[in-house]
Amino acid sequence: MSEYTATALARANIALAKYWGKSDVALNLPAVPSISITLEPMRTETTVRFAASLQQDALVLNGKPADEKALKRASKVLDQVRAIAKLDLKARVESANNFPTASGLASSASGFAALVAASWSAAGMARDNERWSALSRQASASAARSIYGGFVELPKGIPGDATLSAKPIAPPAHWDVRIVVAVANEGAKDVGSTEGMTLSERTSPYYRAWVDCSDALAAEVRAGILARDLVKVGEAMEQSTLAMHACMMASRPGLIYLQPATLAALATVKRLRKEGVQVYATMDAGPHVKALCHADDAERVAKALADTQLVLRTLTAHPGPDLEIRK
Ligand code: DP6
């Protein structure tokens, strides 16, 4: 029946002020504030269909049945939505990314945001960005930010606060910047973010220092976005990135996500800056470099990164809109 089906379109996001560490593991609350840009055209489209004929939940990712672990994580989200909607039907979920899953752009953020919104809408409930963001955050904290377009903040969580959600800082039209992704390799990462940040918290002597510097860096990124000051945002973003990676590396065993291609791309970004281009770099729990620059410089930045040794290719994104629902 059509009233039990809905499709959601969510975009990936890239953090300028990074999230790494949890203040409450059970509720998946971040220990630090994070700020991101929602990325167009890096999209996940997810359709959820609740039906009495289904014996169990099913999840199809990019045309293939998902593994047990992914299905379990999705069923957990569906269970929460079913409880709120008082709906007792199993679901079939079909989800696809229009950007290559191995491109180094986190598909989990757009994936969980789209799953929450599509299942909520399929269950017949009205749009509720705040609750969508809080539910997405419980599944994967970076997903909370993909509910909103433009520039988005997820505050740090106070333990016990199940309602924490992301908040929009500025709409996409506020600032015409670009993110150029330098793809460093196509393989899947060894240690995922959830596991990695738990390890850092337990074992990294720099974890405290990382948490301690995060408020000031997020405040700088926020102020820089509002003032459209690329140098301010870029410098704070690079420090947030490198402080997070220092914390990761000092874990036991060490988490080294950076690869030779990463360092080569970082050198290119630095060289471009010397040549007068306002461009700054960030990396997540993987080797890819994501460069932030003005729209007018994006072609030059993309060419320089594509020409960098060991970089496989580049993708360019701009600030995208809020999550969209298609009934
Ligand atoms: C390095 O949101 O994937 O990309 O909440 O455990 O699912 P969980 O973690 P996740 O972590 C993302 C970490 C990051 C930085 C960021 O996106 O802010």
pLDDT in tens, 54-68: 999 999 999 999 999
pTM for the whole thing?
A: 0.96
Q: List, in sequence order, every residue forming a beta bridge with 106; answer none if it has no partner.
A: none
Average pLDDT value for residue range 9-23: 98
103, pLDDT greater than 60: no
Q: Which protein residue has the closest C-alpha to ligand 1 atom 8?
A: 140
Q: Which protein residue has the closest C-alpha to ligand 1 atom 2?
A: 142
Q: What's the CA-to-centroid distance between 128 and ligand 1, angstroms?
A: 23
178/294 Cα distance (integer angstroms): 6
Average pLDDT value for residue range 113-127: 98
- What is the percentage of the chain residues whose pLDDT exceeds 90? 93
Q: What's the CA-to-centroid distance between 281 and ligand 1, angstroms?
A: 17
Let me know the angle formed at the C-alpha of 36 by 224 and 198, rounded to the nearest 5 degrees.
120
The per-residue b/e assignment along 274-310, b for 16 or more CB within 10 angstroms, e otherwise, is eeebbbbbbbbbbbbbbbbbbeebbeebbebbeebee
pLDDT computed for residue 151 by the predictor = 99
Q: What's the CA-to-centroid distance between 255 and ligand 1, angstroms?
A: 15
> Are 21 and 201 a contacting pair, CB within 8 Å?
yes
- What is the percentage of the chain residues whose pLDDT exceeds 70? 96
Q: Which residues contact 159 (CB under 8 A, 6 or more apart)?
A: 23, 24, 27, 29
Question: Hey, how many other C-beta atoms are within 10 angstroms of the C-beta on 38?
Answer: 30
150, pLDDT greater than 80: yes
Round the average pLDDT of the chain to a whole number and report it.
95
235, pLDDT greater than 80: yes
Q: Which residues contact 326 (CB under 8 A, 6 or more apart)?
A: 6, 7, 8, 9
284/244 Cα distance (integer angstroms): 9
What is the CB-side half-sphere exposure of residue 214 using CA atoms within 13 A? 28
Which protein residues touch ligand 1 with a CB less than 6 Å away?
A: 15, 18-20, 28, 34, 106, 108, 140-142, 193-194, 284-285
pLDDT computed for residue 185 by the predictor = 81
The tens digit of pLDDT for each residue in 121-143 reads 999 999 999 999 999 999 999 99
Give the nearest ligand 1 atom to 284 CA: 1
The tens digit of pLDDT for each residue in 176-203 reads 999 999 999 876 667 899 999 999 999 9
Q: Which of 84-88, 99-103, 209-213 has the lowest mean pLDDT?
A: 99-103
pLDDT class of 2 with cuts at 50, 70, 90? very low
The tens digit of pLDDT for each residue in 260-285 reads 999 999 999 999 999 999 999 999 99
172, pLDDT greater than 90: yes
279/291 Cα distance (integer angstroms): 6
Q: What's the CA-to-centroid distance between 287 and ligand 1, angstroms?
A: 15
Q: Which protein residue has the closest C-alpha to ligand 1 atom 4?
A: 284
Cα 267 from chain centre: 25
Indicate the residue type of 93.
Answer: V
Q: Which of 31-45, 159-173, 188-202, 255-269 has the lowest mean pLDDT?
A: 188-202
Q: What's the CA-to-centroid distance between 108 and ligand 1, angstroms?
A: 9
Give the nearest ligand 1 atom to 139 CA: 7
Average pLDDT value for residue range 226-233: 98
Indicate the residue type of 36.
Answer: S
Q: Which protein residue has the closest C-alpha to ligand 1 atom 1?
A: 284
Average pLDDT value for residue range 308-316: 95
Q: Which protein residue has the closest C-alpha to ligand 1 atom 14?
A: 284
**H-state helical runs in the chain:** 68-85, 107-122, 129-139, 193-203, 207-226, 230-249, 260-274, 298-306
pLDDT computed for residue 101 by the predictor = 63
92/115 Cα distance (integer angstroms): 11
Q: What's the CA-to-centroid distance between 21 and ligand 1, angstroms?
A: 9
Pocket test for ligand 1, best of 42, 193, 211 (most atoms within 8 A of CB): 193
Q: Which residues contact 226 (CB under 8 A, 6 or more apart)?
A: 169, 170
Q: What's the CA-to-centroid distance between 294 and ligand 1, angstroms?
A: 25
